[in-house]
Structure 1
């Protein structure tokens, strides 16, 4: 089982969505050779996600400010912005397809760029089943997303 000790100490978790409450938890990190604002801008440009975020085939604004809809692996998800402290913190709640997710992003300026930490807490029967069948799925997906974020951030900054 995952626990809060697995999480970066500077991640802010909403009530009920810490690693202690997860059916699946994942953390991935990368150093991006670009300023935090560059990576933050890519993360918040939701309309561009299908171009670089593996599995995302559609993304569009939701009915309310701070919401958007995403199609991920042919499943529809509602996303609600939970935290936005530009250019260092992002967090959103995701609901749909038998899961509830909170994804947190922490971007810290370091020498030569930005240290990016992404953490996911997933709850629900679909998350439980997937974590049992393929415990590495979330790590692989996050690694791919961070590799793409690094590539795009560095090409944008360059």
Structure 2
């Protein structure tokens, strides 16, 4: 009997994804281990438009134009803009609604603003090249417009791994809620060793993030337990 994919543990779903994409050589295994912790969570749902027509920018700045690994996607959330914005910018509470995020520490104080920085960790599943470990990401907000957009950059570092990322978000009021658009690029020798696999895993991670943001915001807006 065929097992339902949604019932598999996260790390097993990750291994299945990598197997489907390609055979794992050394470079591919490193990339997969680094990004696979953000694989799609079980039961996630939401109307996605995975290929928005235009790049996402914040105050005129976007992602790395030269990066080979990139993905852009968007989702409509049926909740007030203030609710969505609060969830996204209250970074220290990310672990309460983002399943892959283990810890978050603000490196500054006060309101979330341009110049704010935070350090967060995600688990990396074991793979043929590296043991299970944690990925530490240090993000610095470079541009921000209240209730409109955020752009942050920073390195993600694990055992023998480094990725430099640029991540941009926009929040647009629409009838009944908010259209959230996001775009991210990755550079570094591990991800550039196998661009198709790294891109697919980035896609999985971004779309999972949007689905969990949608679930948390809509639950909060309608006072539903998560």
- CA–CA distance in structure 1, aligned partners of residues 177 and 188 of structure 2: 36
1:86 aligns with 2:146: yes
CA contact (8 A) 1:54 1:144 kept: no
**Greater Cα shift, 83-92 or 125-134:** 125-134
Equivalent position of 2:75 in the other structure: 30
1:95 aligns with 2:151: no
Match of 1:42 among 73, 76, 87: 87
The CA RMSD over aligned residues, in Å, is 2.3
CA contact (8 A) 1:81 1:93 kept: yes
Summarize the alignment of residues 137-148 of structure 1 with structure 2, pairs less than 5 Å apart.
Answer: 137-148=201-212
- CA–CA distance in structure 1, aligned partners of residues 193 and 97 of structure 2: 27
Equivalent position of 2:178 in the other structure: 114
Cα deviation, residue 55, structure 1: 2.5
Which is higher, the Rg of structure 1 or of structure 2?
2
Instruction: List alignment gaps of at least 5 residues for structure 1.
Output: 1-5
1:11 aligns with 2:57: yes
Shift of the 47–118 alpha-carbon distance from structure 1 to 2, 3 Å rule, reads same
Scaled by the length of structure 2, the TM-score of the pair is: 0.61
CA contact (8 A) 1:52 1:145 kept: no
Instruction: List alignment gaps of at least 5 residues for structure 2.
Output: 1-51, 110-114, 124-133
Cα deviation, residue 9, structure 1: 4.3
Query: How many positions carry a matched residue from both structures?
Result: 152
1:69 aligns with 2:116: no
Secondary structure of the 1:56 match is: coil
More strand by share: 1
Scaled by the length of structure 1, the TM-score of the pair is: 0.84
1:58 aligns with 2:103: yes
Secondary structure of the 1:53 match is: coil
